[in-house]
Structure 1
């Protein structure tokens, strides 16, 4: 169990006088501050794309829009069945981790999860979006590590920055 999971466990559980934990089922979609407050967005509120990807904009950003060819920097939290299995938010420093960068529209090369790539398109810098990613756009029929085959995953994505040259071709975003 990682530190974040322990924190969430401690937040959701109370100890009785007999030393027994009484826990409530977590209703949060992600491990962001919003989730720790216990809010849950009903799946019926999400927009569904023809490819099965569902998204909900928690916050619409006011900056540039992520389009194919953009080099984006994001923070993300990836969950399966409510358990965080990957995040860019863990780490040292005030910002809590190193942002993840990738070129939008390059998921065919296998550098980024297809559902994440498609889910970031159309976001604006400063925005935060929840994604429900079907297996075909996630890890498919093979799964990966602790994620079983045909698993639907959830992503909480925050678009931090976009870097693009004046001619429309992507430029390297220096992270750290």
Structure 2
């Protein structure tokens, strides 16, 4: 099922406030949007076995890679990471493939995160929705194919993902907030 930009913004606005007052504030009740997201997570967590089975299928289809769960609440998605196995030498700059399945809309995203290892510290370098680098193309294609087969979701086009939205998503606020942040995570580069 394909959703229009307007439909996706409407859906996201049910879970993220359009003003700063809708955000969490100490000593006060949470916003109606935050309450809806929390209730949705309560529902989705009951089906976590489906996500774990999906990760197991990825492991079977991607030998030579380490696959992990990167899901974190209050993000609006289940998220997985695919790393090259540590047994082989890695370049100074390398990529990780991330797959996200939204819990608020029938869409998913796959992107790459490039980072540099410096003395036991990872330094973020770039994020990429195009996924044309040879080392990330195959795992990205496998993730996309498996998400579509397992969940029946549609891939969110890059142009829509990068569209600014008037919503406050955790630490992102307009004009920096994008539809990607609202449907998935406000920290796409923050991976384990």
| TM beyond 0.5 | no
TM range (shorter): under 0.3
**Bigger RCO (CA 8 Å, 6+ sep):** 1
Write 1 or 2 for the structure with the bigger share of strand: 1
Write 1 or 2 for the structure with the bigger share of helix: 2
TM-score norm. by structure 1 comes to 0.25
